[in-house]
Structures are given as structure tokens and as C-alpha cells.
Amino acid sequence: MECHAYYEGDDDPEKCTARRLERFELVTLHRSMGRVPYGVVLNPHAERALSPADAADRLVALDCSWESAGEAAFAMDGVHRALPFLVAANPINFGRPFRLTTVEALAGALRILGEDDHATRVLEPFRWGETFLELNEEPLDRYAACADSTEVVAVQSEYLE
């Protein structure tokens, strides 16, 4: 699975997970929207939740600050999908649902799509990376066993109750 990110460059470069992934050759960063390839776009505003039915060979994230991650920022072409309830393990938003870093979003998506080894690999450069998979092990296993987005949303509703 190819991992891509559009890099907006408005977040603290020291803490930016996409830049770190690029250094480890685990993601391809694009600095122009026009160069972002077509794929499954990880978009928290998308209507449909990601599920194993989303046969994908390319994931695309938008790396920017949360302040500029409004709906309009996700202007790239592709199949837009939101990640279901998952909890952040990064130190800035630890324990907070839905507000994932770029690497957590990519890893969560890879796990839901059955690419477990790849998910582990992208998290390796982060000291809290393993914690993300541990914290979310049960929901990730359950989402990965779903047939489609409707089932994923049904599982998610149990965590939101």
C-alpha cells in the first residue's frame, strides 16, 4: 500500500509526524495539491467511514494544523473516508478520540484494511507508536472484521455510547 500526504507546512515542523515519516521513507510528501495522486483520502469530514470494503492501493492524508483542517482544505481528488472512533496516543492529544496525527490516521487505516505489518512499520519511528495500536487494539480488530461502512458505524456506536 502506498502512503502519501499533502504537506501544508503550517504546523510545528519539530512535531510534524508526516515529515518524520518522510525521513524514514515511509510516506511520499507532496507540496503541491495538484501532485497528490488519486487514492483513499483520510478526511475527518467525510460522510462515509473507512471499512475493509474500500479496496485501496493508495492512502492520502492531509498534513496541516487542526486549525486549518476545515472541510474546504480536503480539496484533493479521491475517495474520501473518515476513520471511525479511535483514540490518539500522541502526547498532544493523548486519549482524545478522532483527533489523530497523520501517522496515527495512516496506521489506523492500514489496520482496518488488513495491512497489519505495514501499520506497525509506519509507527516504528515514534516512541508512542506502539501505544496507539495497544490502545485501539479491540476496535481496530472489530473494524477490520466488518464487511462495509454500515457495519463499521454500528461497531463505532458501541464505543460512543
Ligand X SMILES: C[S@@+](CC[C@H](N)C(=O)[O-])C[C@H]1O[C@@H](n2cnc3c(N)ncnc32)[C@H](O)[C@@H]1O
Rule CB under 6 A: is residue 122 a binding residue for ligand X? no
The DSSP code sequence of 22-69 is HHTTSSEEESSGGGPPSSEEE-TT-SSBP-TTS--SEEEEEES-GGG-
Please say which residue, 61 or 110, places its beta carbon nearer to ligand X: 61
Rule CB under 6 A: is residue 3 a binding residue for ligand X? no
Confirm or deny that 110 is annotated as ligand binding: no
User: Rounded to the nearest whole angstrom, what is the least distance from the CB of residue 133 to ligand X in the complex?
Assistant: 16
Contact pattern from residue 48 through residue 77 relative to ligand X, giving x for each residue in contact according to CB under 6 A and a dash for the rest: -------------xxxx-x--x--------
Rule CB under 6 A: is residue 159 a binding residue for ligand X? no
Confirm or deny that 17 is annotated as ligand binding: yes
User: Rounded to the nearest whole angstrom, what is the least distance from the CB of residue 58 to ligand X in the complex?
Assistant: 14
CB atoms within 10 A of CB 137: 11
Among 26, 40, 76, 105, indicate the residue that binds ligand X (CB under 6 A). Answer: 105
Confirm or deny that 62 is annotated as ligand binding: yes
The DSSP code sequence of the chain is -EEEEEE---S-TTT-HHHHHHHTTSSEEESSGGGPPSSEEE-TT-SSBP-TTS--SEEEEEES-GGG-SGGG--S-SEEEB--S-B--SSSSTT-BS---HHHHHHHHHHHTT-HHHHHHHHTTSTTHHHHHHHTHHHHHHHHT-SSHHHHHHHHHHHH-
Contact pattern from residue 12 through residue 31 relative to ligand X, giving x for each residue in contact according to CB under 6 A and a dash for the rest: ---xxxx-------------
Q: What is the binding site for ligand X (CB under 6 A)?
A: 11, 15-18, 42-44, 61-64, 66, 69, 82-83, 98, 100-102, 105
Known binding residues: 17, 62, 83, 102
Known binding residues for S-adenosyl-L-methionine: 17, 62, 83, 102
